[in-house]
Amino acid sequence: MGPVLVLLPSPLLPASVWHPVARRLAEAGWQVAEVVDSQALTKQPSTAEQVRAWFLSAVPADRDVILLPHSNAGLYVPSLVAERRVAGYVFVDAALPPAAGDVRLAPEEFYGFLADKADSDGMLAPWTQWWDEDISGLFPSPEAREQVEREQRRMPLAYFAGTLPVPPGWDERPGAYLGFSQTYAAERAAAVARGWPTAVLDGQHLHQLVAPDQVAAEIQALLAQIGALTP
């Protein structure tokens, strides 16, 4: 029996950003697990520990799993490795933690950018409202954008002031990196330096919504390169 693919969304975005790719991977025969969308939770995660517990609840404890984190979810991979049977990971346009130590939830310069977006209660606007430029190209349709904006959550600025521990040895499992945007070019370079297979698709940060067939196919190609068992 092959591993379970666990799709982890950014804590800032709804789990539905992974749904189109999850369907295609399931149709290809993979066993797929996704987090419960935070909209369905009694208490939405707003601290690093709550986000970690939210992700951990989606990862089976009795099966080998391969993690597929997107965006900021990549920072949580080391702590999940420490508590679950993680056989590998494919980072998808995601933050890539260092080999050991601690990692900030937002780099200092970016934290300053976020601080200007917080209201008087210390709450940030939803992610799609952070940017001055037109972000319509991130979405395949106005309807898809409307769904993401309806389901995305607000996070406190204090969340991004924190750090996460990075246990040494977490990155000794087979890994790969799939990039979409230039935002994570440094992470792709770090993946190459680790000797991981990497691939780049010509897209933007939510390319899994725009081209799910292409993204699912590339993920499967990378899974084959890291020796993942077939479905």
pLDDT per residue of the chain (231 residues) written in tens, 0 to 9: 789 999 999 999 999 999 999 999 999 999 999 988 766 555 677 899 999 999 999 999 999 999 999 999 999 999 999 999 999 999 999 999 999 999 999 988 899 999 999 999 999 999 999 999 999 999 999 999 999 999 998 999 999 999 999 999 999 999 999 999 788 999 999 999 999 999 999 999 999 999 999 999 999 999 999 987 666
pTM of the predicted model as reported, rounded to 2 decimal places: 0.94
Tokens of 218: 């590339």
Q: Which helix (H) or strand (E) holds 179?
A: strand 175-179
- What's at 125, amino acid-wise? A
DSSP secondary structure letter of residue 2: P
CA dihedral 12, 112, 76, 71 (to 10 degrees): 50
C-alpha–C-alpha distance, residues 91 and 108, integer Å: 23
- Parse the chain into domains and list their residue ranges: 4-225
Report the top-level CATH class of 4-225.
alpha beta
For residue 78, the tally of other CB atoms under 10 A from its CB is 22
| Separation of alpha carbons 67 and 52, rounded Å | 13
Q: Which residues pair with 66 in a beta bridge?
A: 5, 88
What is the DSSP code (8-state) at residue 168?
T
CB 93 within 8 A of CB 207: yes
